[in-house]
Amino acid sequence: MIELQVDLGDRSYPVLVGAGARHRLLEVLPTGVERVALVTQASIPVDVDPGVEHRTFTIAEGEHGKDLGTVEDLCRDWAQWGLNRGDCVVAVGGGVVTDTAGFAAAVYHRGVPVVHVSTTLLGQVDAAIGGKTGVNLPEGKNLVGAFWQPAAVICDTDVLATLPPREYRNGQGEMAKYAFLGVDGLTDLPLDEAVAACVALKAEVVAADEREGGRRAILNYGHTLGHALETAGSYDLRHGEGVAIGLVYAAELALRLGRIDAARVAEHRKVVAGYDLPLHLPPGSDPEELLALFARDKKAVGGTTFVLDGPNGVEPVKVTDRAVLLAALDALRPT
């Protein structure tokens, strides 16, 4: 078992990574908790036992369950059960579950503790760590949310064996991002160590910039185009697949801005292809629609902001030249 820490002073919390980690849930519950609201989805084949009185609350599948209506339903159901601030929410699932349950926990009674038991690779290396919670609006991804750090995160790598191949690759889209943020040799590490390496980097970034005032923005590498493709809604893409395409787009954009060379672009393509992830825009993509969606991204403060590679590493960059944005999109069209 690998034990890591997200160092946030009196709000620090442990992250347990390894086979069978979910069986240590009782150990990481906040002291004195007597009841737990388990939040999950019907399709998730993972059972946990918090070791105290508990009730299960099921949300809808996929991104359809990640909205304000679900948050209201959870809060009303918890109120009817009598959940209070001395109790705890445990989210069991992937990013949809941890984002939604985490946000509901953040606003219910102005904040009740939450523990994330992440059941997907994408969730274990990214979504469950760092305290960013939120839900979608029809206008865009994660536009309503809150920073609400969990009391603990559990990444049981045993449960990843239950994932369909495409869902596993979905997580590898986020892992590909870490290859450009300073995690070397991910593909050569055993699974537990690869997950822990991603967690360790994210924990370090979150500890330095909890509320995304600066460096934490690098964790959105590849996400601007990825979120736009997801928001468009007409493409059969998972989050990690959109991020993978977004990584290639970010490299093509950085090339046209003179920040990196063609060899670095080729490296991006090689890493993404190595995970068997998409390199091109979906057929029928509308560049003008994507540019309009860029402006709705939550990083867009006073302009269209991208996270781009460059001589000083990955960093936020404001881009105003539409011709450059369109030319980089054109480089991602299927040949």
Per-residue pLDDT of 95-140, as tens digits, reads 999 999 999 999 999 999 999 999 999 999 999 999 999 999 998 8
pLDDT value for 302: 54
* Alpha-carbon distances, residue 109 vs 26, 169, 225 (angstroms): 23, 37, 36
pLDDT value for 297: 67
pLDDT value for 299: 54
Amino acid at 102: G
Amino acid at 94: G
Per-residue pLDDT of 137-158, as tens digits, reads 998 888 999 999 999 999 999 9
pLDDT value for 102: 98
CB-count exposure of residue 258 (10 Å: 0-12, 13-18, 19+)? exposed
Percent of the chain with pLDDT over 70: 98
Q: Are 212 and 164 in contact (CB under 8 A)?
A: no
pLDDT value for 141: 83
pLDDT value for 303: 62
pLDDT value for 213: 81
pTM of the model: 0.91
CA–CA–CA angle 221, 209, 144 (5° rounding): 70
Name the architecture of domain 221-330.
Answer: Up-down Bundle (1.20)
Q: Which residues are catalytic?
A: 110, 132, 174, 202, 212, 216, 220, 223, 227, 239
- For the chain, give every domain's residue range: 2-208, 221-330
pLDDT value for 214: 85
pLDDT value for 298: 52
Between 3.20.130.10, 3.40.50.1970, 2.30.42.10, 1.10.20.140, what CATH number should domain 2-208 receive? 3.40.50.1970
How are strands ordered across the β-sheet holding 53-59?
2-6, 13-18, 152-156, 114-118, 88-93, 35-41, 53-59
pLDDT averaged over the chain? 94
User: Which segments in the chain show pLDDT lower than 70?
Assistant: 297-303
